Amino acid sequence: MPTPSALTTSALVILGASGDLARRMLLPSLYNLDADGLLPAGLSIVGVARSDMDADAWRQEVRELLQAREPIDETVWARFAERLDYCAGDVTKPEGAACLKGRVDGRRPLVIFFSLSPSLYTAACASLKAGGVITDSTRLVLEKPIGRDLETSRSINAAVAAVADESNVFRIDHYLGKETVQNLIALRFANSLFEPLWTSQTIDHVQITVAETQAVGDRWPYYDDYGAIRDMLQNHMLQLLCLVAMEPPSDLEPDAVRNEKVKVLRSLRPFDRASAQHDSVRGQYGPGMVEGEKASSYEAEVGRPSQTETFVALTAHVDNWRWAGVPFFLRTGKRMPERRTEIVIQFKPVPHSIFGGAAQGDLVANRLVIELQPDEDISLTVMNKRPGLGDVRLQSMPLSLSLKSLGEDGGRRRIAYERLLLDALRGDQTLFVRRDEIEAAWAFVDGVADAWTEAGMTPKPYPAGSWGPAGAFALIERSGRAWN
């Protein structure tokens, strides 16, 4: 963690301060950082939205939302409340920009967090630049989705590039702020054990699962236009894949890491009509039971028929020397039976077994499981002998590194945005997505979406509370493998 003295930012603006993301993630994260003494003295936090209220009313709103999460520490609150300011205005209009300029003038450098609908990014950038709020040193933090496809992503990126240098643009993928995701980098590059084994010589395949129990719910107006492939695969899942598959960067400098991730994205084998039919599955939840409760269908939430997928599984191939012949099985869905995010590295079996009899059948190949949610855990299964004097029998046991109890503050699980906000305040872009990276990810996803259209693939129904359509099992099983 950086020390507060390393921070020089004097104002953080949250555009969309009354929205869901700001209330659930950004403001609680900032409060937590303040509680830990990690925000610089004098940093002011300026909320912006069209809702008409003054700074006192906003402070009260923020206090209530924090209190609804956990008891408030009055000393921390007094310090935090002092930082909060509010500007009521439309950021796409000159009046909105003028109001904000009045609040942040003289405060430099400045970080502006776009917690707004991305459809407003272009107009907001232009208006804030014209109004003198965005200057050469202003950092812009942009939420996903940046575009709906490569073309729209390019257009937003171009509008942002017109007002800010890439070195000042921080594109968020909140998965990169998760502790275990960062731990993946440590696991791979701080241990001499794994890297020599991290190739097609020893790895049979990789699985990445991001399963959620929650429904799409009220977010359907956004979601129905995007679906699982654009909401989850284009960003979070491809980022996880990149961190597993990338070559060792020369150091942890932002561009060293991001250069390696871009190479992975550009090595992804494009989908065509035939591979889409063979290597991908779209699903949409129907009614069912989730965690013991009756759950309605996606279409019931939307209120009309929909062809949007709430589940996607696909086999990705990274066409380079390291990964030739190693499939990456990815799946993500809403309304799954449990919340589970994990990366599984399945090693190959031993090349020759010296064990006979029953022990021969006991042999299981090693498996490294990196669990991100609900618990943070890294576990490696290794074979060992069952204790006893009888015939040799083997068993597979996990060597487990539970990360839950290792936190610096007694295990409080940080919100991923805490790390990302702090990094944006420090100007460290390592955990943010570069323009060419996001565009390479869109190019891959566009290819999948186009192939689905060409192949006429519509989502297959699956009951809420199940692991997706039957095709998702067939996808992996026809190669002789199974989901973890």
Footprint on this chain of ligand BG6 (rule: CB under 6 A):
212, 231, 341, 373
333 belongs to the binding site for ligand NDP (CB under 6 A): no
Is residue 236 among the annotated active site residues? yes
Residue 21 or 257 with smaller CB distance to ligand NDP: 21
46 assigned to a ligand binding site = no
Smallest gap, in angstroms, from Cβ of residue 218 to ligand BG6? 12
Ligand-binding site membership of 478 (annotated): no
When CB distances to ligand BG6 are compared, the closest residue is 231
Angle between helices 254-267 and 435-455 (to 10 degrees): 20
The binder of 463, among ligand BG6, ligand NDP, none, by C-beta within 5 to 8 A per type, is none
- Could you tell me the smallest distance in angstroms from the CB atom of residue 463 to ligand BG6? 20
**Taking contact as CB under 6 A, which single stretch among the options 109-117, 246-254, 326-334, 401-409 is the one that binds ligand NDP?**
109-117
Instruction: List the x/- string, 27-56, binding to ligand NDP by CB under 6 A.
Output: ---------------------xxxx-----
Instruction: Using CB under 6 A, pick the residue from 13, 62, 91, 380 that binds ligand NDP.
Output: 91
Sheet holding 44-49, edge to edge: 84-88, 44-49, 11-15, 110-114, 139-142, 169-171
Q: Please tell me the distance from the alpha carbon of residue 124 to that of residue 138, in angstroms, as a whole number.
A: 14
As to burial, measured by CB atoms within 10 angstroms (0-12 exposed, 13-18 middle, 19+ buried), residue 313 is: buried
Distance CA 219, CA 28 (A): 21
177 binds, among ligand NDP, ligand BG6, none (CB under 5 to 8 A by kind): none
Q: Is 22 labelled a binding residue?
A: yes
CA 121 to chain centre: 20
Residue 115 engages ligand NDP in binding (rule: CB under 6 A)? yes
The residue annotated as part of the active site, out of 236, 278, 317, 352, is: 236
Question: What is the rounded CA–CA span in Å between residue 342 and residue 484?
Answer: 9
Per partner kind, with CB cut-offs from 5 to 8 A, the member of ligand NDP, ligand BG6, none near residue 51 is ligand NDP
3-state secondary structure of 315: strand
Which of 8, 60, 117, 199 is the binder for ligand NDP (CB under 6 A)? Answer: 117
Count of residues for the chain?
A: 484
* Contacts to ligand NDP from residues 119-138, by CB under 6 A: 120
Residues in binding contact with ligand NDP, number by CB under 6 A: 24
d(CA 397, CA 349): 15
473, 281 in Cβ contact below 8 A?
no
90 is a site residue for ligand NDP (CB under 6 A): yes
Partner whose binding site includes residue 118, from ligand NDP, ligand BG6, none (CB under 5 to 8 Å by kind): ligand NDP
Is the sign of the CA dihedral 21, 22, 26, 32 positive or negative? negative
Q: Is 16 in the site for ligand NDP (CB under 6 A)?
A: yes
What are the beta bridge partners of residue 268? Answer: 318
Confirm whether residue 50 is marked as ligand binding: yes
- The residue number with the shortest CB distance to ligand NDP is 19
For the chain, the distance separating the N- and C-terminal CA atoms, rounded to the nearest angstrom, is 34
Helix (H, G, I), strand (E, B) or coil at 90: coil
Instruction: With beta carbons less than 8 A apart as the criterion, state whether 211 and 341 touch.
Output: yes
Beta strands in 265-366 (DSSP E): 280-286, 288-290, 293-295, 311-317, 327-333, 340-347
Name the site residues for ligand NDP (rule: CB under 6 A).
15-22, 48-51, 90-92, 96, 115-118, 120, 143-145
- The residues assigned a catalytic role are 236
Annotation: binding site = 16-23, 50, 90-91, 144, 174, 178, 212, 231, 334
Annotation: binding site for NADP(+) = 16-23, 50, 90-91, 144
